[in-house]
Amino acid sequence: MPSVYVYAVSYDLGFAPNPFGGLCTLACCKPKIRGLAQEGDWIVGLTGHKTAPALRCVFAMVVTGDTNFDEYWANPDYRSRRPVRNGTPKKHVGDNIYHRDAPDAPWIQEDSVHSRPDGTQCPLNTAHDTRIERVLLSERFVYFGEAAEAVPQPILDALGYVRNARDYRRFDHVTAKPLLDWLAPQMAVHPNHVVAPPIDFASSAKRYSSTKQRMI
């Protein structure tokens, strides 16, 4: 039976997840979810206190596949997801940022949202992201971005979801049925579609500081 993972999206840049080009990927952040989620599982991101008002649905994706960082980097199908920091906002937030020269070599982190302000590698973000060498792929998703609507209160009550968990919460398919029933028609209307730009798209050129716990 599929699991449903619900978590708070601290910053909605289009980086984690990255919903562009008809594919939604979770390649950075949330290593626990990237390690646990299996094909057929749902991942739902809700706004948190940093993107108030909270408990709006930013995106929902069904895991349809996965890959590892080196394969993600090398596969020409995903080349367009590499970051280009002097490009458009969409290119700023490319999430294909980790690769190695050899299987036992140190990770190389491309100039990206998770780099230091000067574009050099951030060891803290690298260590956090590469704890789990796995990229989740979805060809069945909807991304609402700044059009995110509040999850109806009866659904939150049915889940016992009073506030966002510190990391994530996992529900079984039966318990999460009210949430999935609410999402299903919206996914049908907007299949694999970016309904609106990310909430924080204006900050796409910034970097995330793991020491300051904010964009700088």
pLDDT in tens, 113-122: 999 999 999 9
- Tell whether the model's pLDDT for residue 29 goes beyond 90: yes
pLDDT number for residue 94:
98
Tokens matching residue 208: 């995330």
How is residue 53 annotated by DSSP?
A: S
- Tell whether the model's pLDDT for residue 164 goes beyond 90: no
pLDDT number for residue 188:
96
Helix (H, G, I), strand (E, B) or coil at 69: helix
Per-residue pLDDT band at 131 (split at 50, 70, 90):
very high
Nearest to 83 by CA among 16, 32, 34: 16
31 contacts 127 by C-beta, under 8 angstroms: no
41 contacts 62 by C-beta, under 8 angstroms: yes
141 contacts 25 by C-beta, under 8 angstroms: no
Per-residue pLDDT band at 162 (split at 50, 70, 90):
confident
Per-residue pLDDT band at 1 (split at 50, 70, 90):
confident
β-strands 135-138, 141-143 pairing: unpaired
Report domain extents, the chain: 3-215
- Tell me the C-alpha distance between 72 and 148, whole Å: 29
Structure confidence by residue, pLDDT tens digits, 50-101: 898 999 999 999 999 999 999 999 999 999 999 999 999 999 999 999 999 9
Phi, psi torsion values for 176, nearest 5 degrees: -85, 5
H or E element: which one contains 201?
A: none
Tokens matching residue 18: 């990255």
Nearest to 171 by CA among 36, 31, 20: 36
Per-residue pLDDT band at 49 (split at 50, 70, 90):
confident
4 contacts 165 by C-beta, under 8 angstroms: no
72 contacts 132 by C-beta, under 8 angstroms: no
Nearest to 55 by CA among 158, 164, 211: 164
Determine the number of helices (DSSP H) and then strands (DSSP E) in the chain.
6, 13
19 contacts 187 by C-beta, under 8 angstroms: no
